[in-house]
Amino acid sequence: MHGAARPGRSLPSTVVITLEGLTKRYGDRLAVDHLTVTVRPGRVTGFLGPNGAGKSTTMRAIVGLDLPTAGRALVLGRRYRDLAEPLRVVGALLDARAVHPGRSVRAHLRSLARSNGIPRRRADEVVETVGLGPVARRRAGTLSLGMGQRLGIAAALLGDPEILIFDEPVNGLDPNGVRWFRGLARRMAAEGRTVFVSSHLMSEMQATADHLVVLGKGRLLADAPLTEVLARSPLTAVTVRSPHAGDLAARLRTAGGAVERLDECRLVVTGLAVERVGDVAHEAGIRLHELRLREASLEQAYQELTARSIEFGAAPTEVA
């Protein structure tokens, strides 16, 4: 997902979000529990967790809307409130409804631009970028949910920032809109920006994110590349077929894999990457007739990670 920086602009290597022991309490409720994470540039970082896990609280702390009980949330090594031109550094969509309903789409963006020293023409540019040109004169309060989301994304892009934070950005978007946002997020990361996105749509996160940060009850459950999170799942396995399956099984167990023998020639291996299984066979001079990865979906891996962290669970339903 890494790409070249935008022509004519030098992107600092320090463009990151840093959470250092971030803790937030609301009375007796612990929303975020000593969270330490670095969100790096040049990739899309997906931010996952069940309802009540602390994702929105964390994002609000990053942009100074919630004061940490302990620890720090920093951008470029500073608190958000200490940034001289915050919209030029951090663009955030946390609540698309946070807009004056009587203002038009264009007037809302121009007002934000004027208050942050951003050229008026930039408001017109982002209107077109997010596809709201045909409704630019409509009042924000009359927009559909999906168009309201696009307006929130436009506001996040307004300052051409190096850091982008999106909380459930595809909520209400139609399939074309979801695909459009996926391309936008990838493009922003390829330009060297820091892109931090929360979502409950696991299939979309699997298609968009390079790296995952997963919370459960305010605590960090995972901070790893998407591929690594998927590989950790017990549902991810390697199927291998060989006329020397018995010998290969013994060698794979010695290499640290868990091996189930399906029949005389077929094995299912967990705990080893598919490349490692192939290397073990090659080093032993064992001929293979099949070597195939059966990868878990992100939804499956996520459910396993968060199984003990679901705070607001509904009763199971039966399908008639």
Q: Is 68 helix (H, G, I), strand (E, B) or coil?
A: coil
How many other C-beta atoms lie within 10 A of the C-beta of residue 194?
Answer: 26
Task: Say how far apart CA 194 and CA 1 lie, in whole Å.
Answer: 12
Note down pLDDT in tens along the chain; length 320 residues: 333 344 434 444 555 999 999 999 999 999 999 999 999 999 999 999 999 999 999 999 999 999 999 999 999 999 999 998 899 999 999 998 889 999 999 999 999 999 889 999 999 999 999 999 999 999 999 999 999 999 999 999 999 999 999 999 999 999 999 999 999 999 999 999 999 999 999 999 999 999 999 999 999 999 999 988 988 888 889 999 999 999 999 999 999 999 999 999 999 998 888 999 999 999 999 999 999 998 889 999 999 999 877 665 555 555 55
Closest to 309 measured CA to CA, from 48, 56, 72, 22 = 48
pLDDT of residue 201: 93
CB 209 within 8 A of CB 46: yes
Helix axes 105-115, 145-157, angle to 10 degrees: 20
Please report where in the chains the tokens 């051409």 appear, as a residue: 160
| Four-CA torsion 157, 160, 164, 168, nearest 10 degrees | 10
Residue 58 CB neighbour total at 10 angstroms: 29
Residue type, 212: L
For residues 73 and 290, what is the distance between their CA atoms, to the nearest angstrom?
Answer: 49
Report the run of H or E that residue 62 belongs to, with start and end: helix 55-62
DSSP states along 213-246: EEEETTEEEEEEEHHHHHHHSTT-EEEEE-TTHH
Q: Retrieve residue 243's tokens.
A: 């006329």
Measure the N-to-C terminal CA separation of the chain; round to a whole number of Å: 44
Q: How far apart are the C-alpha atoms of 135 and 137, rounded to whole Å?
A: 5
Encoded tokens for 269: 């291996």
pLDDT in the model for residue 4: 38
DSSP of 150-183: HHHHHHHHTT--SEEEEESTTTT--HHHHHHHHH
Distance between CA atoms of residues 309 and 56, nearest Å: 16
Closest-CA residue to 11 (of 47, 45, 37, 40): 40
Identify the pLDDT of residue 271.
84
Nearest to residue 213, comparing CAs of 26, 45, 63? 45
Residue 42: phi and psi, rounded to 5, are 80, 10
Q: Would you say 32 and 53 are in contact if contact means Cβ atoms under 8 Å apart?
A: no
Angle (nearest 5°) at CA 11 between 8 and 16: 160
* Tens of pLDDT, residues 124-142: 999 999 999 999 999 999 9
pLDDT at residue 119, rounded to an integer: 94
CA distance 262 to 241: 10
Domains, in order of start, for the chain = 17-224 (3.40.50.300), 237-294 (3.30.70)
Residue identified by tokens 């969509």 is 93
* Tokens representing residue 197 in the block: 């996105």
